[in-house]
């Protein structure tokens, strides 16, 4: 079954296909583009360390870092690994594991159909042995040590450990050298069978492609799979941060900082909640906000400054990061502006500026095949459509944004992480 989803205002459209294999497929044809981008993802990430398949009595607990480990192992086969296969066709391929998903992707200017067949084939053909697992433990162990020397990585995870008492989001995505030493082929196959079922995955393609070709390749490569139903344990979490401040010394030219405001995750996270929260962040610290301009003029921040609403299954927080010779002053200035907005509210002008700025950014990403394909998968996993956000802009109110600033920026849930 397939349906064509259109946005008349943008003149954009994409196909949503329920493939016979059980896989959800999204295709946005852009015949005027020279290349194409494809991403094949599963709702499985580093926080998924305890799960139970429907019908089983007990939960399975797996070592931290196993989702990332599994991502590495899927590129291997008894013959050529996937990177070697892609190299022969001229595609640029990659993969990533985040807190709540794992994705495999490629982009190319030619041989798209052949590359898509490679992508679907290697992701759906696991090959693990105890010998290859042992070898990979050494490789990923070195990767873990490399990230331990990365100040940008450490300032983030020091913050997450300063915010979260129990949630596995506080654990490095790759795990630890000790945790990955517990991984074996049987555990990898168990996780693969649970989370790499077609019903838990999605394929999105954007660019100079034809929908019928993509369906034909899926017909050729993918086998029909009965859905696997599972449940996960999300640890209980205090509203308060573990600590208000954490610090580490590393080799940096200027201190790095990350400020987090811990939020209570919504029972059913919605696109409206995401949009309103991001609007609140933009009103507070967008690049045309009064506070951002003042911090920049006073030399308290530089162009590395950034912000995001960071949320997933069982975790939700507001992240603010950058470089500063006085991170504590930055935190205090932000806290003072939050209190001012909580007391006096947001001006109509500031609200309209942020609303138009973010709408423009959302429209602009439709020119980029990478962003389109990634967002098609992200939206599907989150439970809404690609065009839904654009429609929401017409109905968001200033009062909703002010409510977020009051409810989500809590002093007791704040932590400052600094790398000096």
| 56: Cβ contacts below 8 Å, ≥ 6 apart | none
- Give the DSSP letter of residue 59: P
Which residues are the active-site residues? 71
Mode of pairing for the β-strands spanning 50-53 and 60-61:
antiparallel
| 101: Cβ contacts below 8 Å, ≥ 6 apart | 41, 42, 43, 44, 45, 377, 381
Rounded CA-CA distance 183/63 in Å is 7
β-sheet bridge partners, residue 247: 418
Q: How far is CA 16 from CA 123, 224, 278, 356, in A?
A: 21, 18, 27, 29
| 218 phi/psi in degrees, rounded to 5 | -60, -40
Residue 324, number of CB atoms within 10 A of its CB: 21
| 142: Cβ contacts below 8 Å, ≥ 6 apart | none
Q: How far is CA 24 from CA 17, 36, 245, 350, 373, in A?
A: 6, 19, 44, 40, 13
Rounded CA-CA distance 289/37 in Å is 35
| 333: Cβ contacts below 8 Å, ≥ 6 apart | 291, 294, 295, 300
| 258 phi/psi in degrees, rounded to 5 | -145, 125
- Provide the strand spans (E) within 300-405: 306-312, 315-323
**Contact call for residues 35 and 369 (beta carbons, < 8 A):** yes
**Contact call for residues 321 and 374 (beta carbons, < 8 A):** no
- 3 state DSSP class of 20: coil
**Cα–chain center distance at 72:** 18
**Contact call for residues 281 and 307 (beta carbons, < 8 A):** yes
Here the tokens at position 262 are 């811990």
């Amino acid at each position: 079954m397939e349906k064509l989803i259109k946005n008349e205002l943008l003149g954009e459209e994409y196909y949503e296909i329920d493939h016979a294999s059980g896989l959800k497929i999204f295709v946005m044809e852009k015949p005027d583009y020279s290349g194409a981008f494809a991403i094949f993802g599963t709702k499985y990430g580093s926080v998924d360390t305890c799960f139970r398949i429907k019908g089983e009595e007990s939960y399975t607990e797996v070592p931290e870092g196993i989702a990332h480990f599994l991502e590495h192992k899927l590129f291997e086969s008894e013959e050529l690994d996937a990177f070697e296969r892609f190299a022969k066709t001229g595609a640029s391929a990659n993969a990533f594991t985040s807190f709540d998903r794992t994705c495999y992707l490629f982009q190319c200017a030619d041989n798209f159909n052949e590359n898509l067949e490679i992508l679907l084939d290697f992701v759906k053909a696991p090959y693990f042995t105890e010998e290859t697992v042992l070898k990979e433990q050494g490789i990923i162990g070195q990767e873990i040590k490399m990230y331990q020397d990365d100040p940008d990585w450490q300032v983030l995870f020091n913050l997450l450990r300063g915010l979260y008492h129990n949630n596995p989001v506080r654990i490095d995505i790759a795990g630890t050298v000790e945790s990955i030493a517990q991984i074996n082929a049987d555990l990898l196959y168990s996780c693969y069978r649970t989370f790499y079922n077609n019903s838990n995955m999605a394929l999105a393609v954007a660019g100079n492609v034809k929908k019928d070709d993509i369906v034909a390749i899926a017909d050729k490569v993918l086998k029909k799979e009965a859905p696997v139903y599972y449940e996960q344990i999300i640890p209980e979490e205090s509203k308060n941060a573990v600590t208000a401040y954490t610090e580490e010394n590393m080799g940096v030219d200027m201190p790095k900082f990350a400020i987090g405001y811990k939020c209570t995750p919504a029972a059913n996270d919605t696109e409206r909640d995401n949009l309103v929260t991001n609007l609140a962040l933009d009103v507070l610290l967008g690049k045309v906000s009064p506070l951002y301009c003042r911090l920049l003029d006073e030399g308290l921040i530089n162009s590395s400054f950034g912000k995001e609403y960071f949320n997933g299954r069982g975790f939700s927080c507001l992240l603010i990061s950058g470089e500063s010779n006085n991170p504590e002053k930055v935190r205090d200035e932000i806290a003072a502006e939050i209190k001012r907005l909580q007391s006096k509210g947001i001006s109509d002008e500031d609200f309209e500026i942020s609303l138009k700025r973010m709408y423009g950014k959302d429209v602009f990403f439709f020119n980029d095949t990478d962003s389109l394909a990634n967002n098609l998968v992200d939206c599907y996993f989150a439970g809404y459509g690609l065009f839904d956000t654009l429609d929401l802009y017409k109905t968001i109110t200033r009062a909703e944004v002010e409510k977020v600033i009051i409810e989500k920026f809590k002093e007791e849930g704040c932590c400052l992480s600094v790398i000096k």
